[in-house]
Every structure is written in structure tokens, then in C-alpha cells.
């Protein structure tokens, strides 16, 4: 039986996971999303067209790969239908290339409203969520009051929804007393009609994806899993509470798909040759100076989902070593080597200095992270134009030295190197 390859983010998201999945999908039958929802934004450039994928696995862009939205995903049907229509408008046959887990939890407008209300109530300690209703939907899942895709087709749907809407209205009035339009925004009959229509539109896609995936494996089909978010945004292993509400690390891939630990083969960790983060929370190597601005402009670091400018800084290998430990990485993908290569000198964080205590071990304790200062090692930059390089050997010596150091420090081989945003701009080793 063939093994499943997994692609995961190692930092705070937006490492370029979509681009790596797009490459792997060329040889894959299925591409699976396991966690998160439309808080994710995966950008792929194909023949000059830019696709921003939020829910449908990027692998579908190969044209032959079937995208599977696993049980661990929280799903906004409106966003999904928009994404389907957009792909169809670009000539993709989505109907025969998409499956949705009957167990995926549905995001409703009250989840988004609660997300926004909670952020408002947090005032100065806000998380900086995407406002897509992700946290409140996972809350309902674990409280056991959520609606799963399969619930939309049951006779009990109308009464369940009515009950939930009443409960949520009361809660929202408590959390956001300034919002005087809650009753209007959550008109039950309107919501019921809207979600019944979504359910009909999605009916051809909803199925038991656990059985579907295992049957595919038994038929020796090739499966890749497209991680969303990243290790440091993990609800357990990230910089809590400045995290998302799921487990985007390796454990979440298993619980979010129904695949087993022994089904997994390669685990590719994706990083950029520098660091970025959107939203609030610690970021030890963040650059609040002209270098940070330069990375943002050169790397076009603006959010795919919210358009927010991303916070930028030097590569932090202390965190990547942690990501390797937590996820059991077997290979790395380093994107944006072209971007960092435009600097004369490049800094890489190799340890944290916390009030004189120097360590290479990352921990998510916020007091520790607040005090930690990066210890840098300097590398020579000026890589020149590397966008045409297709083998490691073609790269200039400075670029090779930078990559070799990462491999040595993390103890994992670099399998993929991104040399530009286009699909072809990648070195595979």
C-alpha cells in the first residue's frame, strides 16, 4: 500500500504550503485538507493566474487530483460554493474532483459574529483572528452542539437550527450588547432557507471520506495531505492563546482525516527563508525596522485571507527545530530563497538568550518568549537572479551555504527549494 505524504507549516502560517502541495499533486490521486477552515489562504500561481485557495485543497489545480475536505475541517458553505464557482469559471471540473466529509462541522453566521464579538471584548489582548468564525465553530464541536455536514440533510435540521439560533442570539446579546441588529442578522427563517439551499448545492460532494480515503489507499492510490495553519498556531503546541483553534500539527492530520499513523510516509515541513506572522502574539525575530519592511515588500507579505500586512523577520531555526520534533519531519521545503537572496547580509536565529540563559530549545511560555532575544549567525547574501535554477548545483555558493546550514542545524534534508512564486520556480532534490 502506498504511504501518505503530509505537508505542514512550521512557523506561523503562510510558508508556501500551497505551492509544495501543487508540486506533489502532479503525482497524487487525492489531496486532503484535515484542519482549519477558510482562515487558510494558499496561493498558487499557474500560467500567470493566481489562485487563492481557502477550503478546497490546492492539489485540485493539477486537473486530475481529487480534493478531499476531511472531518477535521470547519466549513463555511458560502465560501466553498464561491470557490467551486471560481474554479469552474477557470475551466476546472470540480464536480468529479471534490469530496466533503459528512462529519465536517459547518460554520454559521453566528460563529462569525461571535468571533468578532469576542475579539472586541478582548480589547488590548485580542488574538487578531481572521474573523471567519473558526474558534466558535470548534467550541461548538467540542461542546457537542455543532452542526455537521450530514445534519443539513436530516429531518431534525430545522428544529436543531431553530434551537441553536435562539441560544446564540442570547449569547451574542451578552457579549456584544452594542450590536442592536442581532435579531435581524440571525433571522431564523432566512437562515434556514439559506442553509437548505447550500445543502442542496453541496449534496453531490458529501460522503464518508474516512472509508473513501482508506479504500483509495487499498487501491494503492497516492494521497497527499495539505496542512493548513502551522505548528506555532497549534492550540496545544503554539503560542497559546495567540493560536488558532485546531491542531495543525501531525496529530491533527490523523484525527482530521481518519488516516492512521502507520499510513503516513513523508512529513514535509514548509518554511520560508525568513519568517512572517499575521495576528498578535510573540515573534522573537520580528524586525520592526527597514529590514522588516524590505522583506514585506520583496516577499509581497500581505495576507491571502484578510489582506493584512504580515509581520516579518529573520529565519528562526530554534522554532523550526521544535517543529521538527513535534511533527517528526522527514524533509524540509524552503521557500522564498529568491527573496532573502536580495539582502547583502542575512541573519539566522540559532539560539535564544533569555536573561543570560542561552538555549536552542523552544518553549511556548509567553513570559519566556517575551524576554527571549535572538542569537544570530550571519550569512552572505546577494544570490543574484536564481529564479531559473532547477538544480541545487546551479545555485550560487552563498545560497548553498545557507541551505546546508539549515539542514545541519535541524537535522533534516531540504527536499524542495522555492526560487519564485510561479509553479515552475522550484528545485526538487
Nearer to Mg ion, 301 or 316 (CB): 301
**14: annotated active-site residue:** yes
- Point out which residues bind ligand GDP (CB under 6 A): 9, 13-19, 41-43, 45, 300, 304, 335-336, 338-339, 418-421
From the candidates 42, 54, 97, 105, which is the catalytic residue?
42
Q: Where are the beta strands (DSSP E) in 176-289?
A: 206-207, 223-226, 264-272, 274-277
Interaction of residue 304 with Mg ion, rule CB under 5 A? yes
Nearest distance in Å: CB 223, Mg ion: 22
Closest contact distance (angstroms) between CB of 101 and ligand IMO is 18
**DSSP at 57:** -
Strand partners, 89: none
Half-sphere exposure of 327 (CA within 13 A, CB side): 37
Residue 41 binds to Mg ion (criterion: CB under 5 A): yes
State which of residues 5, 14, 83, 234 lies at the interface with Mg ion (CB under 5 A). Answer: 14
DSSP helix/strand/coil, 56: coil
239 binding Mg ion? (CB under 5 A) = no
Strand partners, 352: 359, 374
Query: What is the spatial distance between Cα 86 and Cα 297, in angstroms, rounded to a whole number?
Result: 28
Contact 200, 8 (CB under 8 A): no
Distance between CA 246 and CA 39 in Å, rounded?
Answer: 11
Joined grid coordinates for residue 284: 522573537
Task: Find the shortest distance in angstroms from Cβ 335 to ligand GDP.
Answer: 4
Q: Give the containing element (helix H, strand E) for 371.
A: helix 366-371
Among Mg ion, ligand IMO, ligand GDP, none, residue 311 binds (CB under 5-8 Å by kind): none
Report what 134 binds from ligand GDP, ligand IMO, Mg ion, none; CB cut-off 5-8 Å by kind: ligand IMO
Q: Which of 14, 22, 115, 316 is catalytic?
A: 14
The listed partner (ligand IMO, ligand GDP, Mg ion, none) that binds 333, CB under 5 to 8 Å by sort, is none
Q: Which listed option, ligand GDP, ligand IMO, Mg ion, none, makes contact with residue 338 (CB within 5 to 8 Å by class)?
A: ligand GDP
CB of 275 to ligand IMO, least distance (A): 12
Residues that bind ligand IMO (CB under 6 A): 9, 12-14, 39-42, 127-130, 132, 134-135, 228-230, 233, 244-245, 278-279
Distance between CA atoms of 14 and 301, rounded to whole angstroms?
A: 9
Cβ 390 to ligand GDP, closest distance in Å?
A: 13
Contacts of 124 (CB under 8 A, 6+ apart): none
Backbone torsions φ then ψ of 23, nearest 5 degrees: -65, -50
Task: Provide the grid cell at 117.
Answer: 464579538
**Which residues of the chain form contacts with Mg ion (CB under 5 A)?**
14, 41, 304
User: Catalytic positions, please?
Assistant: 14, 42
Amino acid at each position: 500500500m502506498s504511504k501518505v505524504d503530509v505537508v505542514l507549516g512550521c512557523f506561523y502560517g503562510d510558508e508556501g504550503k500551497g505551492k509544495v502541495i501543487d508540486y506533489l499533486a502532479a503525482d497524487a490521486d487525492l489531496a486532503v485538507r484535515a484542519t482549519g477552515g477558510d482562515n487558510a489562504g494558499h496561493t498558487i500561481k499557474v500560467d500567470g493566474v493566481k489562485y487563492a485557495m481557502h477550503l478546497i485543497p490546492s492539489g485540485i489545480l493539477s486537473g486530475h487530483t481529487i480534493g478531499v475536505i476531511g472531518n477535521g475541517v470547519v466549513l463555511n458553505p458560502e465560501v466553498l460554493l464561491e470557490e467551486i464557482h471560481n474554479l469552474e469559471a477557470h475551466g476546472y471540473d470540480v464536480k468529479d474532483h471534490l469530496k466533503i466529509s459528512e462529519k465536517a462541522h459547518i460554520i454559521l453566521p453566528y460563529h462569525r459574529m461571535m468571533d468578532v464579538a469576542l475579539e472586541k471584548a478582548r480589547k488590548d489582548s485580542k488574538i487578531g483572528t481572521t474573523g471567519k468564525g473558526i474558534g466558535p465553530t470548534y467550541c461548538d464541536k467540542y461542546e457537542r452542539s455543532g452542526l455537521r455536514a450530514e445534519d443539513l440533510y436530516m429531518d431534525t435540521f430545522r428544529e436543531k437550527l431553530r434551537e441553536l439560533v435562539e441560544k446564540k442570539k442570547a449569547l451574542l446579546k451578552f457579549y456584544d450588547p452594542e450590536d442592536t441588529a442581532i435579531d435581524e442578522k440571525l433571522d431564523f427563517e432566512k437562515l434556514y432557507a439559506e442553509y437548505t439551499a447550500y445543502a442542496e448545492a453541496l449534496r453531490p460532494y458529501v460522503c464518508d471520506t474516512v472509508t473513501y480515503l482508506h479504500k483509495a489507499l487499498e487501491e494503492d492510490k497516492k494521497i497527499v495531505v495539505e496542512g493548513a495553519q502551522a505548528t506555532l498556531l497549534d492550540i496545544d503546541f503554539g503560542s497559546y492563546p495567540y493560536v488558532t483553534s485546531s491542531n495543525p500539527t501531525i496529530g491533527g492530520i490523523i484525527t482530521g482525516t481518519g488516516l492512521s499513523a502507520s499510513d503516513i510516509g513523508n512529513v514535509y515541513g514548509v518554511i520560508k527563508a525568513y519568517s512572517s506572522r499575521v495576528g498578535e502574539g510573540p515573534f522573537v525575530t520580528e524586525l520592526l525596522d527597514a529590514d522588516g519592511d524590505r522583506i514585506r515588500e520583496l516577499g509581497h507579505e500581505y495576507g491571502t485571507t484578510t489582506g493584512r500586512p504580515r509581520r516579518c523577520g529573520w529565519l528562526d531555526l530554534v522554532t523550526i527545530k521544535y517543529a521538527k520534533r513535534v511533527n517528526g519531519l522527514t524533509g524540509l521545503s524552503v521557500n522564498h530563497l529568491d527573496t532573502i537572496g536580495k539582502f547583502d547580509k542575512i541573519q539566522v536565529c540559532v539560539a535564544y538568550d533569555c536573561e543570560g540563559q542561552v538555549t536552542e530549545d523552544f518553549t511556548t511560555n509567553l513570559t519566556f518568549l517575551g524576554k527571549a532575544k535572538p542569537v544570530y549567525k550571519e550569512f552572505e547574501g546577494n544570490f543574484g537572479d536564481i529564479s531559473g535554477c532547477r538544480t541545487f548545483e546551479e545555485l550560487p555558493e552563498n545560497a548553498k551555504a545557507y541551505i546546508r546550514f539549515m539542514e545541519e542545524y535541524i537535522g533534516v534534508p531540504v527536499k524542495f527549494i522555492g526560487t519564485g512564486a510561479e509553479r515552475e520556480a522550484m528545485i526538487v532534490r
